[in-house]
Structure 1
């Protein structure tokens, strides 16, 4: 018997698997055929493919909403009712950011329209004589107070010839005039502050809205047109 025949015919160790077999039995080829397929990790890190039903559960919306967002271009579709997981999440975030931006711009535009309508209404009221400018009103009040002070200055002499009694009347009249002056000054300051605040609000409302910098999505792309 040759040496090659002796090597090939040599018995294997007790319990050791034969060449081409695995410990569980069967050949390596058969084992490879029965192994489960590797999971699909997606293209370029975009996650696994999921159906619209699972995407809807993930985002807590309806499957029809997922398909609608896909038609509008927010979520890219892969084949028949298939979407990459990352595309679903990022697309929905872009959609929500765009919706919030639109709502803010709409509210700002509404405030501008209200301010302009109010301005037109006030101009019409002034033209029709239903209201007057604050400065004009304050001038009228000051004129009336000056006239009142001048008329009351001769009141003590007209009432009595008693000098002591005149002094008492003058003191009482001066106290009244001082209180009126203090109240007028307080009301004037309140009117001035209200006018300054109103002018500031009108100035802010007249500025152009929606010209701010756009948000950037997680993948660096801006929102798609809805």
Structure 2
């Protein structure tokens, strides 16, 4: 039996493409190439169809790789790695550091009058000055803490209010 020129059998197509006979049938059913006779396929159509199938598969994989869920998972992995490398800290850690620094600063200011004088009248005067500055500082630190937590200003805490 003479085969039409430029055609190959199902088995030849499978060997050419390095896939199974069943996979050739699946690709044919999926419309990537069509047989011209029972068990015979056009050689050019088989090769072009297989390239089209590979391109479609690669494009689909790229779409999946850039899906919102995949992007979210990648971002979560990057954040976890940044935390492990200590390039990123949690909000709780940031707040603890902020509160600790604020506490040390306020305590330092509170001890300043005692370090400056032993004169009771002068010390009371300095205590009053420091108390006013500490009140302003605590207000400003509260505003700063709110900004740290929310990323925005608290309208009830105006910096201009004194």
TM-score using structure 1 length: 0.37
Q: Larger Cα Rg: Structure 1 or Structure 2? A: 1
Higher RCO (Cα < 8 Å, 6 or more apart): 1
TM-score using structure 2 length: 0.49
